[in-house]
Structure 1
Amino acid sequence: MGIFQKIGISNARSFSEGTNYIAPTKVVMSELFASLDEQDKSIETYYDEISTKIFRKVLRNLAFQADEAVKDLFEFVLREIVRNIFDHSQTPHYYYGSQTYPATNSVEVVIADVGLGLLNTVPFNVEETWFDNPSDEDAIRKAIIPGLSAFSNHAYATEDYKNSGYGLALVKRIIEKTDGVFSIASGKKTITYNSLGEFVEDCDLKGTLIRMRINLNNLNLVNFDEVLEDARKEAVSKGFSDSPSSASQKLKSQNI
C-alpha cells in the first residue's frame, strides 16, 4: 500500500492510489485541530469519523456484506489504534493506509506515527528503569498489557475517553480471535503476533507503526464482552487497572 515509502523507510516504487487500497494518507495534527475548531467538533468525533471512513472504503471493494456486529468491531479496532496515537505519541503527524483482499474478504491496515516511540511513552517503574535498562522490545510487550498505562498525555479527553491502557490489549485480542496478524514496530524492534506464535525482528523506525490483518468473516466469531472480561482478568492478575475507559468498554452501536 506504500506506507513504508511514505514514511521514508523504503525506496521501492509506490503508486498514489489503487482499486484495492487506500493510498497512505498523512494527517498533520495542527491542521486537524484547526479544522475541528472551525467545525466545532471534538477529537472524539474524529476518532469515529476516521474509523468509519476506512471501513466504508474497505467494504466498497468487497463482495462481503458486513452485519452491524462486524462493522462495530472493525471500527472499534481502528478507533483504539488512532486514539492511542493522540494519547501517547506526541507526534506532529501520522499516516494511515489499507489494502483489501477481495478473494479472502480480508483487509490489512497500517497506522504509523513519527513520535516519541513506545520506549519513551510506556511507563516503567523505577526498578525496571534502573536495573533492567528497558529495550524497545520490552516497551512493545508492556504496551499490550491491559490497564498498564492508565493515564493520558493530553488534557482534552472527555471522561469517557480518558486513557486506561486497554486499547492495544483489546485490539490484539480481537485480531487474534479472527486468526489475523498483529504487528507493532517501534524503535529497533518489531513483534508480530499470529496463529503460529510471536516473531521478533529488528527494524529502525522513528515512532511507532501498527499493522493489522483481519479476516472480516471471522469477526462474526468474536464476542466483545468476553474479550473485555479476559483483558480485565489479566489486568487484575498483574496488579494494574481493572477499569477500562467508558469508550474502551463499548462498541459504537452501544453508544447510541
Structure 2
Amino acid sequence: MDVKIPRKLNIIQSLSFVSEIAALPQAEEYVFDFQDLQWSEPFGLLVVSYELSSFASAHGSSRLAVRNYEKNTYEGHMGFFKAFGLDYGKSPGEALGNSSYIPIKIKSVKTLQEKAFSDHVAVGEIIEDYANEISNVLVQNHAEELRKTLTYSIREIIRNVVEHSESLQFGYCAQYWSAKDMVEFSLLDKGVGIRATLDNNPHLDISSDKDALELSLLPGISGKMYKGKRNRKNDVWANSGFGLYMTSRICGNGGSFLL
C-alpha cells in the first residue's frame, strides 16, 4: 500500500496525515512516499515523526518502506528521519542548531530527573536551560524583557510535562524564517492528557476534553498551587500554572497558539 506524505508538513496537513494513517486498513506492506514533500515546520517534524514511529511499532508484522526521501535534506538535518527509525540524516539533537533554529531534540524525563538529583538542583533549573535556548530563537533581536517572559513561560510549560503528564519523554523543535520574519516553536509529549491531570484538582468540574483545554489556558489552573494542596513553604519552584496562560497570550497577540 502506497502512502503519500503531504506537500507541506504544517499544522493542518500534518494533522490530516496523522488521521489518514490512523485509518489505514491492515496490509502486508506500507510504502511511505516523500516525493511531494516540499516544506516542513517544527510542528509537522515532531508530530509526523512520532506518528510514523508509532505506526511502525503497531504494524510490526507488516513490511514498511520509505522512498523518494533523499531530496529532503532539511528534514534530514533536523533529525526527522532518524526520529522514526530511517537511517538518513542526523539523529535528533545531533545538529548543533544556532540562533535561527533548534533541531528535533528528544529528552528523557527520567534522565532529566536523575541529573537534577545528581547535581543537587531543582528540575526547574535544568529545564530553564532548555527554555533559554528556545526563547533566544523565538525573540531574535527583540526586547530582553520579552525574552525573560518567554523563558519563564516555556519553562513552566515543560515543567507541566515533567511533573503532570506522566510522559516518559518529550520533544521540541524551533525554526526562525528571516525572510518571513516568522518563528515557530513546538513541544510534544504523549502523556495522560490535560484532562487527566486537571482532574486531580478537586475544585474543577470538567466534563469534556474541550473543557479541560479551555480551562488549562486560564491563569493558575494548570499548576499545583490550588487550595488544599500542600506545598513546601517558600518553594521558588512551586508550579504556578501560568505557563500556558502567558504563552498563549503572548503568541495570540502577534501570531497563533495551538494546544
Structure 1 length as normaliser, TM-score? 0.57
TM-fit CA distance, 1:35: 2.2
Q: Distance in 2 between matches of 1:158 and 1:90?
A: 26
Gaps of 5+ in 1: 185-256
Structure 1 residues 154 and 108, CA gap change in structure 2 (3 angstroms) = farther
* Residues 1:22 and 2:95 aligned together: no
Aligned residues of 1:22 and 1:98 also touching (Cα < 8 A)? yes
2:256 to 176, 181, 186: 181
The answer for the alignment partner of 1:6 in structure 2 is 49
1:151 to 224, 232, 238: 224
TM-fit CA distance, 1:175: 1.7
Q: Distance in 2 between matches of 1:94 and 1:154?
A: 27
Give the number of the structure whose alpha-carbon radius of gyration is greater.
2
* Bigger RCO (CA 8 Å, 6+ sep): 1
Aligned residues of 2:153 and 2:242 also touching (Cα < 8 A)? no
Structure 1, 100-109 or 5-14: larger mean CA deviation: 5-14
Aligned residues of 2:112 and 2:123 also touching (Cα < 8 A)? no
Secondary structure of residue in 2 paired with 1:161: coil
* Residues 1:114 and 2:157 aligned together: no
TM-fit CA distance, 1:69: 1.5
* Matched AA of 1:165: G
The answer for the alignment partner of 1:68 in structure 2 is 144
State the number of aligned residues. Answer: 175
Gaps of 5+ in 2: 1-41, 56-65, 70-74, 79-94
Q: Distance in 2 between matches of 1:47 and 1:156?
A: 20
Aligned residues of 1:6 and 1:24 also touching (Cα < 8 A)? no
Q: Percent identity?
A: 23
Aligned residues of 1:87 and 1:154 also touching (Cα < 8 A)? no
2:211 to 126, 138, 155: 138
Structure 1 residues 43 and 127, CA gap change in structure 2 (3 angstroms) = closer
Aligned residues of 1:86 and 1:154 also touching (Cα < 8 A)? no
Between structures 1 and 2, the one with greater strand share: 1
* Residues 1:48 and 2:91 aligned together: no
Q: Distance in 2 between matches of 1:5 and 1:157?
A: 43
* Matched AA of 2:237: Y
1:85 to 161, 170, 192: 161
CA RMSD of aligned residues (A): 3.3
The answer for the alignment partner of 1:167 in structure 2 is 243
TM-fit CA distance, 1:157: 10
* Residues 1:35 and 2:115 aligned together: yes
Aligned residues of 1:55 and 1:71 also touching (Cα < 8 A)? yes
